[in-house]
Amino acid sequence: RLRALNRLQVVLQHLKMSKQTDSTAELLLEKKGGAGIITLNRPKALNALNLSMIQQIYPQIKTWEQDPETFLIIIKGTGGKAFCAGGDIRAITEAGKVGDKLTQDFFRAEYRLNNAIGTCKKPYVALIDGITMGGGVGVSVHGHFRVATEKTVFAMPETAIGLFPDVGGGYFLPRLSGKLGYYLGLTGFRLKGRDVLKVGIATHFVESKKLPALEKDLIALKSPSKEKIADLLNSYHMKCTIDQEKEFVLDEHMEKINSLFSANSMEEIVKKLKQDGSPFAMKQLETINKMSPTSLKLTLRQLREGASLSLQEVLRMEYRLSQACMKGHDFYEGVRAVLIDKDQSPKWKPAALEEVSDEFVDSCFKPLGNDDLKL
């Protein structure tokens, strides 16, 4: 009887595997030609990543990495609106309110996946068509190739929900030119289309409707090297003329961004913005005043420290910060105000930058002993 039961479990396991290509599955994992293809398939949720998706993607990347017949990995989203709008913040919020382990498991699994992408030995191509924010940036930006389109909208909007630009934001943001990464991380400013390429977040720019053809050509490559993949992406990139003449959206403000956001503390940044008094500075001040003061302080320090750390060290630091945020007030209040009640008026605690002490900020960066992130 036990043997029959075991056999049944094996059969069910196979059925579960074949269900992966079912159009209702949240995630599709397929092998086509020499390419492993990951399709985020929650179009109604803008392909937001939940724990079960992360837990399926991670081992699959590891398997493909070892497979001599897999030459590259492609990741994309369905629905035409978003590549991936972020992590499943609602689920984490619900879990945090009742002290569920998901608040640890989710971040741990997500950051391990970010690291797997950042260290992947096979060329990894992310087709970031549409909204790409938060967790969606984490599963794309650390890979070898990121293909943006005229529909791409990039942002790290975490300070607005009492979090910080995680998923390795502490690694890639401070490495953007000048103080641009600090500006993007603190204000959540959105970059669109070709601008995502101009700042170096995307490596290539291709017209959205050409992506299926590009994907087909990538799949058709015979045992391709990274160079061959780059050549193919370059050929599509060179042919794309959309917005070619357009000036970078922040071009005229870069000098100001570099000087205003180079201050050593949030209070100093705010002071500089007030002193500057230009319409641009006033607009940034208005934005910053809406953000969680705690998040702003954690973010500034995260980016300053991350500038000289490896991706692994950054993810370890960010895991500590994520757990501090899960224990705090602002994350739950931010999610309530922005995503649940949508009244857009969070009541932050503490409500002012001056009330967030250096001691508190220090405590959020402290090692967690056995609970630290292991990569």
C-beta separation of 126 from 39 below 8 A: no
Predicted pLDDT of residue 307: 98
SS3 214: helix
**Distance of alpha carbon 102 from the chain centroid:** 19
DSSP-assigned states of every residue in 236-294 = HHHH--TTTTPPPTTGGGHHHHHHHTT-SSHHHHHHHHHHH--HHHHHHHHHHHHS-HH
Active site residue 276: no
The answer to whether position 237 is within a domain reads: yes
The answer to whether position 317 is within a domain reads: yes
Active site residue 318: no
Active site residue 217: no
Containing structural domain, residue 324: 26-371
Q: For the domain that residue 161 is a member of, what is the CATH number?
A: 3.90.226.10
C-beta separation of 181 from 174 below 8 A: yes
Q: Which of 88, 129, 158, 195 is catalytic?
A: 158
pLDDT by residue, tens only, the chain of 375 residues: 666 666 666 666 655 554 445 568 999 999 999 999 999 999 999 999 999 999 999 999 999 999 999 999 999 999 999 999 999 999 999 999 999 999 999 999 999 999 999 999 999 999 999 999 999 999 999 999 999 999 999 999 999 999 999 999 999 999 999 999 999 999 999 999 999 999 999 999 999 999 999 999 999 999 899 999 999 999 999 999 999 999 999 999 999 999 999 999 999 999 999 999 999 999 999 999 999 999 999 999 999 999 999 999 999 999 999 999 999 999 999 999 999 999 999 999 999 999 999 999 999 999 999 999 999
Active site residue 87: yes
Q: Which of 36, 135, 170, 185 is catalytic?
A: 135
The answer to whether position 220 is within a domain reads: yes
Q: What span, in angstroms and rounded, lies between the C-alpha atoms of 152 and 129?
A: 5
Residue that has been written with the tokens 């403000």 in this structure: 253
The answer to whether position 7 is within a domain reads: no
Strand order in the sheet with 191-192: 82-84, 131-133, 153-155, 191-192
Q: What span, in angstroms and rounded, lies between the C-alpha atoms of 215 and 220?
A: 9
The answer to whether position 175 is within a domain reads: yes
Q: Which of 34, 36, 77, 87 is catalytic?
A: 87
Q: Which of 110, 129, 166, 318 is catalytic?
A: 166
Predicted pLDDT of residue 24: 82
Q: What span, in angstroms and rounded, lies between the C-alpha atoms of 311 and 290?
A: 30
Give every CB contact of residue 243 below 8 A, 6+ residues apart in sequence.
150, 193, 194
The answer to whether position 80 is within a domain reads: yes
The answer to whether position 110 is within a domain reads: yes
- Tokens, residue 54: 């992360």
**What is the number of structural domains in the chain?**
1
In one letter, which amino acid is 295? S
The answer to whether position 19 is within a domain reads: no
Q: What span, in angstroms and rounded, lies between the C-alpha atoms of 144 and 227?
A: 11
Give every CB contact of residue 351 below 8 A, 6+ residues apart in sequence.
293
Torsions phi, psi for 271 (to 5 deg): -60, -45
* Rounded alpha-carbon distances, angstroms, from residue 142 to 14, 43, 122, 173: 32, 23, 13, 11
